[in-house]
Structure 1
Amino acid sequence: MAEQKRLFLLDAYALIFRGYYAFIKNPRINSKGMDTSAIMGFTNSLLDVIRREKPDHLAVAFDNGGSQMRSEAFPAYKANRLETPEAIRIAIPYIHKILEAMHIPIVELEGYEADDLIGTLSVQAEKAGYKTYMVTPDKDFAQLVTDNVVMYKPSRMGNGIEIWDVEKVKEKFEVEDPKQVIDFLGMMGDSVDNIPGLPGVGEKTAKKFLKQYGSLEGLLANTHELKGKMKEKVEANKDLGMLSKELATIMLDCPVEFHEENFELNTPDIEKVTEIFQDLEFRRALENLHRIFKTDANDANSQTVSPEKTTDEVSSGNQQLDMFSVATDDGSKPSESLRGYKTAQQTDHFYQCVDTEFSQKLLLKKLLLQESVCFDTETTSLNTLEAKLVGISFSYEKGKGYYVPLPENDKEANQVLDRFRPFFNDESIEKIGQNLKYDIKVLKNYDIDVKGPLFDTMIAHYLINPDMRHNMEVLSETYLHYTPIPIESLIGKKGKNQASMRDVSLDLLTEYAVEDADITWQLKQVFEPELKKNGLTKLFKDIEIPLVKVLASMEMEGIRLDEKFLQSLSSDLTKDIEHLEHLIYKEADTDFNLASPKQLGVVLFEKLNLIDKPKKTKTGQYATGEEVLSKLAPKHPIVKRILEWRGLVKLKNTYVDALPNEVNKTTQRIHTTYSQTVAATGRLSSNNPNLQNIPIRTERGQQIRKAFVPRDSNYTLLAADYSQIELRLIAEMSGDEEMKSSFIRGEDIHKATAANVFKVPLDEVTREQRSYAKTVNFGIIYGVSAFGLSQQTDLSRSEAKELIETYYETYPTLKSFIAKQIDFARENGYVETLLGRRRYLKNINSRNAVVRSADERNAVNAPIQGSAADIIKIAMINIQDILDSGKYRSKMLLQVHDELVFDVHHDELDILKPIIKETMENAYSMSIPLTVDMGQGSNWLEAH
């Protein structure tokens, strides 16, 4: 018996929207500043279907102008939908081009929706003996499911694909026949498509009615059996119910025809697809395309090694590249670049291994003659405290470089390193690198200081394009159109544990290591003029680059942790958690798994019936997130206890029990890693562990800071914190004289604001008035609305609106400043900090109000938050210079947003305390003072 042929029909817009929102928190922005999230999301879904299912026939259906029939029947159909986001509008022409280049048919008909086109084609294909897979996340398609037509829900968030056949639809909707899904939608309506349904009928009630009456018509014929308000509502809205059913019914008779020869999946036009993907900077998608269709990417972009290259030059380079192939999922070996970019195999280059004393001395002489040299370390670990050097590569000319391997024996390795010490110590030679902080820390383990000017390509690119990724592979492919040798080629797919670098052959390691240095050298030549063109050179040279060494010192120093105190705190938290559990179970009159959102939802909203119409998630279970529970907490003590329980559990698991595992066995301290290239605002981020998120608002959270202690009894912790720096900056940048005067007079700014807004004398301001003023002061920076302010306070929305209006009347210049910032962003596409750091706002002119308003808030907030970040960085650089030049024993340990934490020797405390305060307060000159609060103690909490 012949195998049944299969047809896959993709619902284009459903997949495009789904892809766009999957990346909403981390949009995919390419080097041109284009948001490619929607295109990438759709393309990934398309390629995933082709890779997994290897379909014989496939097509993609698009809406075109919406459903004319439904709009005529009900003008409000889909009227509540927000305007299509800009990124999706831009995406459609690109997706059309991709499909055309891949020879995939597009099904589109003016006045018809994709649902109807897919419905019609699936019926025709079934008659022709096909099994049809409707590729969509849209539940409405469940009505079309038969023995030969199924829904294919693409994988999401790692959950894998879902196939909805007849039995699955019956189970999901609790119906006897998939066609009853139409009645289900007619009864409960659809808020997404603005189908009204029957008022008062939700998912639960609709399922109950279908079990009782079988259909909407069955329900409407038996309304005499209903009671009370439900009876009144259903009888009064019979016509609305029938109209809703009509709107929810997918058409099966559109003027489209299924001709199997037109739907065959053919080999794409690789050259055209490559061109589009390269323009969009879709590296992984291009790689997947070549793997799926088993094509050679180099066919689309082939270049060869220069014939003039000598055998000796090639011997340590290109001849080895045949060994650099990575096995694909099916065991085959793809070409060197699956993404259509050049590779070492196709590029003229000379990479040499320098492994004798004589050749190393010659190389040193060459290095000392250069104005700038790129270097890169190869190590056994990504953890700098454990990393052993395997070798160092150097490059100072495009396509050329050298690799110096280091013996495994420490004594012999140090002898080789000593030969190159003059290079690293030379203050006249610029050292180039990608993520130089890592290399500086590794070399410091060998007592080698990297001196002279630095150029970090990762940081340079972060300033040029902060929203893009900054790893070398992405930068190389984006700016050099060159694919580096993947590390997996050397040490396997895990790649994280680099100890096996010692096992890689010297020839292969030379090629890999020198290529990194060569690429980084070339990237510097691209980024340096870009920094200059965008006015970022001063920010790069005066702040970000000097900060690299400061952060390296702080990370290597680390901070001591009182593990015994954390053990005691963990024990106390366990008791508190168990006590809360007992109270919650008693109030609920049942034991259940508090950590299970599903069980919690059933207890709160079915057993206890806390509210009439509880919110549900997309998966159908009750929503029990913090936002939902926080609104219920004031009215229901059990909810307040549940939130408290969650807070304590998170505290215990995330910090109290986890922090001791982060203590380094050798140093007995915690060593966080700071990143300069993550937050687009310019703020530093901290990880492994994240010490910037140590809780401070709750009493139990504050206790964690008690675990951070000085190195020994000769030291004390000193904390220095900028006081209200963001408010001072908004006063400075806006030029509002009233606000500036308050700061100059040294007044409590929140109290002064309250006096102005509530029209009372300063000494008569109540605690409540000050609290409202504080909320508004900080809220203005983040674009707080009347609704937002009412949520944060006990003010009504009208009271909150009036308070904001009075605030702007009090500070009119501030309101004008906000408007100017937004206008500047609209005209230029970015805003700047006081020191020239740029934040690009790609959606500032979007026609989608929600998306646009987010960028309008950023237009105000980013320059303020970014300026605060720049100022504390300057302070850190200046303080580190003082500590180094004075040869102080005291160390700077942590930076947490506006706060610096120091380990200060008792003998130096009286000297350094005023120096640190003065240095921070004078980091940047303004017309209003910067002030710093200081504290000291035997632990961080005491000092803070």
Structure 2
Amino acid sequence: MDKQKIMIIDGNSILNRAFYGVELLSTSDGLHTNAIYGFLNIMYKYIEEENPQYICVAFDLKAPTFRHRQYEGYKAKRKGMPDELSEQVPYMKEVLDAMRIKRLELEGFEADDILGSVSLCAEQRGLEVVIVTGDRDSLQLAGKTTRIKIPRTKAGNTETEEYDYDRIVEEYGIKPHQFIDVKGLMGDSSDNIPGVPGIGEKTALKLIKEYGNLENLYKNIDEITQKRVKENLMTYKEQAFLSRDLSRIERNMPSLCEFEEFKYQEYDSEKLFSIFERLEFNSFIDKFALRSSVALDEIDVNIKRVENIGELKSIKTKILMSGKLYFYYLIDREGKFSKKLSSLAFSSGDEEVWYVDFAKSINEKEFFLEYKDVFEDENVKKYSHDVKNFIVYLKQNDIVLKGLAFDTMIAAYILDPSRESYIISDLAREYINLRISSIEEMAGKGKKAVLYKDMPAEEVADVIGRYPHVMTKLKEKFEKLLEENNQKELYYDIELTLISVLADMEYHGFKVNTEELLNFSKELQSKIDSVKTRIFDLAGEKFNINSPKQLGVILFEKLELPIIKKTKTGYSTAAEVLEELKDRHEIIKEILEYRQLVKLNSTYVEGLLGVINENTGKIHSSFNQTVTVTGRISSTEPNLQNIPIKLEMGRKIRKVFVPSDENYILLDADYSQIELRVLAHITNDENMIEAFLNNEDIHTSTASKVFGVSKSEVTPLLRSRAKAVNFGIVYGIGDFSLSKDLGITKKEAGNYIEEYLEKYPKVREYMTNIKKEAREKGFVTTLFNRRRYIPEIKSNNFNIRSFGERVALNTPIQGSAADIIKIAMVNVYKELSKRNLKSKLILQVHDELILEVHKEEINQVKKIVEESMKNAASLKVPLEIDINLGKNWYETK
């Protein structure tokens, strides 16, 4: 029989690690939660790995400990806990109480002492012990049956250092209990334990390896040959023994040995559900199956499985009579470019839901043949969730969806663009208090994911069969909230219509000249080889440029460049470090270029080759409406919005993007300085408005005002600096960042910003007012009432609050620009469709639209695009665009 096991967790230490290792999270009302979230992920990772029978969590108390009485300076230099972390501690404890996990706190002692005493009791009872801590002081507790796990969490991912008795002996050359003697010599700056000056870890370990402990070391002090070390040891002998005492973990507290209290048991589901709802931990609510206060059968849905075409015909009559079609679909990705409709649940808006299983009962082609007229009937209003992919699928089956009236996913995005999840089960739980099963959870993720068609048919029917009815309730709730927020126009006129635009863009795709791409790949590889050769020549030897370790040795040891930053494994060779060094040695510029070229090759050459559809010869990107908090559209598989344009080789990759055939040409329409025009409108700044109304170059105009020269005296350098200030202001840039961008002093950058705000006073006024508004309301809006909630702006932490202020400044501008381009897209799409033109909108990249235009329609389409984009919004300044034509994307710029 396996030994029983106890897991003892250092609460403060792990909470602290989680706080700094997990991106800042907060609830909708501004309560920070990232430390709790990270703590739970770490704890359950180890619970699943270790399967303990006993578990407890130790916490420090604020009261002084016996160590403070021993030494007044103990932990004197340690800063207090950040407010964003301290506010989470009581909630963390509440979570543990609801989980029925024993919390241990003891006045006068630290969490380390609790770990030590509980672990010793457990060892004496024959239990296996696992200590989870972020504090290496606990290595002294390792034993033959006691292991120490030290998690390292970065960007939400946790890796573990694990120590047992043997590893410590092998790695450090001492036994665990000797760590306190090492600490006696080297001290611990984090706890303000003094140690012996001049003795670091390396020397301390060497001495304790040789002499075993402090007593024996001082007994043989005359053997120490290093004069300075010996003198310091003699001078600070008393301090060494004090430091050892301060480092020693107390292990003799028998009151902590009541192991029945530590049994790992069933949680209190009601309390846990309540606290998780308060923390808005939906993923944990699902993980712990803290489901419904409203049972599924109380939803009262009548799910009928459709077995034949005859039944479909009879249902079709009901749908046509009702004029409503609520539906939820499941599509399987069966291959790289192959998708298959697995099942469909639909209703006419009441509790009767029909379920079609295309894998096991109804033939898909027969279904579409029968229901094509329903999907294409404008008078039958369609309601769905994340409908875009279904629209694309219908197009592939020669069906055009008409009458789209509501998409619950897009409505949820408008109401809260910062949500992590828009799956229907989450929305149902949060908005209408219905706790329904998640089909996404049932299917699994990553390697564990299964195709919908391979899942138990009855279970799938039971889950998604409820979704159409849930949609009716969500629609009702969302319409009310959109009305309250004054967001109905944004939803219906922009976002809902945009779904069909994006679906059409995805379906049509963007043709890639594969031969040109392969030629470009060869050219790029040749360029990489040339740069690599130059790097080797400058270094005087060959080495692995991709190895930070080898590169660091070349730069900082061989070439003796100044060390900017060190990591745990050596010298940092990160991009920002190399940027600081680029004027110190010509090798740096070559390395930066090499990295850009290698990334270009792996991401945009090899990457593109992997996503060209073998059937169409095109790239069919996915355009996402619910990813960015600003309202911008993003694209994936591949991300065509991120193709680099600063590097000439990056720009050249656009040559591979071509029209579908020789009858077409590409048209690129780009808004000119749209964000600055929006800024002029929002701030109502007379100087800025005047510059745009007079069709002046805004950067030249700004340079003239800020630097006090006439427009004719503005040099390219001054214009470039003014441009950086113009766009920097839009993004809430500070003097430090601007100084980095321009390569000037912080003082100069501050003067530029101050001078800018003097010349554009309404911009300063806007900056003050919008931050005040964000603090009062908790959100800011665009010109079209898109909201972004900013809990960070109320933070007590300067850096977090500053981020919130930058978001408040930028969102109305960037978000309004995003809305304007969306309106333009909708207008272009409508006009092209209305006139039944062959030309198509195929891509949107930030402020530009790319169309594939039939050569016979060039003038007509240019006029449509120009009018649609210029009239997308009525601002105090004109919206100007640049239109260019080309045989490939490169030629249009």
Q: TM-score, normalised by structure 2?
A: 0.89
Q: Tell me which of 244, 249, 252 is aligned to 2:250.
A: 252
Question: Hey, what's the Cα distance between the residues in 1 that align with 2:303 and 2:838?
Answer: 44
Is the alpha carbon distance of 1:226 and 1:656 closer, same or farther for their aligned partners in structure 2, counting shifts above 3 Å? farther
- 2:73 touches 2:192 (CA, 8 Å); kept in 1? no
Structure 1 range deviating more: 584-593 or 885-894: 584-593
1:548 and 2:521 matched: no
Shift of 1:546: 0.6
Q: Tell me which of 314, 335, 350 is aligned to 1:362.
A: 314
Question: Per-residue displacement from partner, 1:882-922 (whole Å, max 9, x unpaired)?
Answer: 11112222111100011111111222222322331232121
Is the alpha carbon distance of 1:189 and 1:380 closer, same or farther for their aligned partners in structure 2, counting shifts above 3 Å? same
Shift of 1:879: 0.8
Question: Hey, what's the Cα distance between the residues in 1 that align with 2:499 and 2:402?
Answer: 12
- 1:935 touches 1:943 (CA, 8 Å); kept in 2? yes
Shift of 1:553: 0.8
- 1:44 touches 1:285 (CA, 8 Å); kept in 2? no
Q: Tell me which of 631, 637, 644 is aligned to 1:695.
A: 644
Q: Match of 2:485? A: 534
Aligned AA (2:150): K
Q: Tell me which of 503, 509, 518 is aligned to 1:567.
A: 518
Please state whether the residue corresponding to 1:923 is helix, strand or coil: coil
1:473 and 2:425 matched: yes
Q: Match of 1:139? A: 136
Question: Hey, what's the Cα distance between the residues in 1 that align with 2:756 and 2:230?
Answer: 49
- 2:120 touches 2:251 (CA, 8 Å); kept in 1? no
Shift of 1:659: 0.4
Structure 1 range deviating more: 450-459 or 218-227: 218-227
- 1:283 touches 1:339 (CA, 8 Å); kept in 2? no
1:400-415 residue pairs with structure 2 within 5 A? 400-404=352-356, 413-415=364-366
Is the alpha carbon distance of 1:245 and 1:835 closer, same or farther for their aligned partners in structure 2, counting shifts above 3 Å? farther
Q: Match of 1:333? A: none
- 1:353 touches 1:507 (CA, 8 Å); kept in 2? no
- 1:281 touches 1:478 (CA, 8 Å); kept in 2? no
- 1:360 touches 1:404 (CA, 8 Å); kept in 2? no
Q: Match of 2:737? A: 788
Q: Tell me which of 34, 38, 42 is aligned to 1:37.
A: 34
Shift of 1:124: 5.2
- 2:29 touches 2:791 (CA, 8 Å); kept in 1? no
Shift of 1:209: 8.0
Shift of 1:600: 3.1
1:806 and 2:755 matched: yes
Structure 2 unmatched ranges of 5 or more: none
1:172-251 residue pairs with structure 2 within 5 A? 174-178=172-176, 181=179, 245=243, 249-251=247-249
Q: Tell me which of 658, 661, 673 is aligned to 1:709.
A: 658
Is the alpha carbon distance of 1:859 and 1:105 closer, same or farther for their aligned partners in structure 2, counting shifts above 3 Å? same
Please state whether the residue corresponding to 1:630 is helix, strand or coil: helix
Aligned AA (1:787): F
Shift of 1:764: 0.7
Q: Match of 1:636? A: 585
1:521 and 2:521 matched: no
Is the alpha carbon distance of 1:492 and 1:351 closer, same or farther for their aligned partners in structure 2, counting shifts above 3 Å? farther
Question: Per-residue displacement from partner, 1:532-558 (whole Å, max 9, x unpaired)?
Answer: 222221111111001001111111111
Shift of 1:734: 1.5
Question: Hey, what's the Cα distance between the residues in 1 that align with 2:543 and 2:813?
Answer: 47
Identity of aligned residues (%): 37
Question: Hey, what's the Cα distance between the residues in 1 that align with 2:865 and 2:245?
Answer: 70
Aligned AA (2:760): Y
Aligned AA (2:114): L
Q: Tell me which of 486, 493, 501 is aligned to 2:439.
A: 486
Aligned AA (1:94): Y
Question: Hey, what's the Cα distance between the residues in 2 that align with 1:533 and 1:283?
Answer: 25
Question: Hey, what's the Cα distance between the residues in 2 that align with 1:474 and 1:242?
Answer: 58
Question: Hey, what's the Cα distance between the residues in 1 that align with 2:463 and 2:241?
Answer: 67
1:587-736 residue pairs with structure 2 within 5 A? 587-611=538-562, 614-617=565-568, 620-736=569-685
How many corresponding residue pairs?
Answer: 885
Question: Hey, what's the Cα distance between the residues in 2 that align with 1:629 and 1:830?
Answer: 38
- 1:187 touches 1:244 (CA, 8 Å); kept in 2? no
Aligned AA (1:260): E
Question: Per-residue displacement from partner, 1:432-486 (whole Å, max 9, x unpaired)?
Answer: 1111111111122222222224211111111112111112232234334323263
1:839-918 residue pairs with structure 2 within 5 A? 839-918=788-867
Structure 1 unmatched ranges of 5 or more: 290-336
Structure 1 range deviating more: 341-350 or 818-827: 341-350
Q: Match of 2:873? A: 924
- 2:174 touches 2:208 (CA, 8 Å); kept in 1? no
1:455 and 2:454 matched: no
Q: Match of 1:166? A: 165
Is the alpha carbon distance of 1:256 and 1:723 closer, same or farther for their aligned partners in structure 2, counting shifts above 3 Å? farther
Structure 1 range deviating more: 821-830 or 380-389: 380-389
Question: Hey, what's the Cα distance between the residues in 2 that align with 1:214 and 1:568?
Answer: 67
Question: Per-residue displacement from partner, 1:524-577 (whole Å, max 9, x unpaired)?
Answer: 233221222222211111110010011111111111111112211211222222
Please state whether the residue corresponding to 2:642 is helix, strand or coil: coil
1:746 and 2:695 matched: yes
Is the alpha carbon distance of 1:873 and 1:190 closer, same or farther for their aligned partners in structure 2, counting shifts above 3 Å? farther
Is the alpha carbon distance of 1:125 and 1:564 closer, same or farther for their aligned partners in structure 2, counting shifts above 3 Å? same
Aligned AA (1:566): L
Q: Match of 1:47? A: 44
- 1:433 touches 1:456 (CA, 8 Å); kept in 2? yes
Shift of 1:385: 6.8
Question: Hey, what's the Cα distance between the residues in 1 that align with 2:685 and 2:238?
Answer: 56
Is the alpha carbon distance of 1:259 and 1:451 closer, same or farther for their aligned partners in structure 2, counting shifts above 3 Å? same
Please state whether the residue corresponding to 1:712 is helix, strand or coil: coil
Please state whether the residue corresponding to 1:700 is helix, strand or coil: helix
- 1:719 touches 1:943 (CA, 8 Å); kept in 2? yes
Question: Hey, what's the Cα distance between the residues in 2 that align with 1:207 and 1:799?
Answer: 50
Is the alpha carbon distance of 1:591 and 1:345 closer, same or farther for their aligned partners in structure 2, counting shifts above 3 Å? farther
Aligned AA (2:102): P
Q: Match of 2:344? A: 392
- 2:52 touches 2:264 (CA, 8 Å); kept in 1? no
Q: TM-score, normalised by structure 1?
A: 0.85
Shift of 1:287: 5.5
Question: Hey, what's the Cα distance between the residues in 2 that align with 1:201 and 1:534?
Answer: 64
Please state whether the residue corresponding to 1:560 is helix, strand or coil: strand
- 1:716 touches 1:905 (CA, 8 Å); kept in 2? yes
Shift of 1:715: 1.8
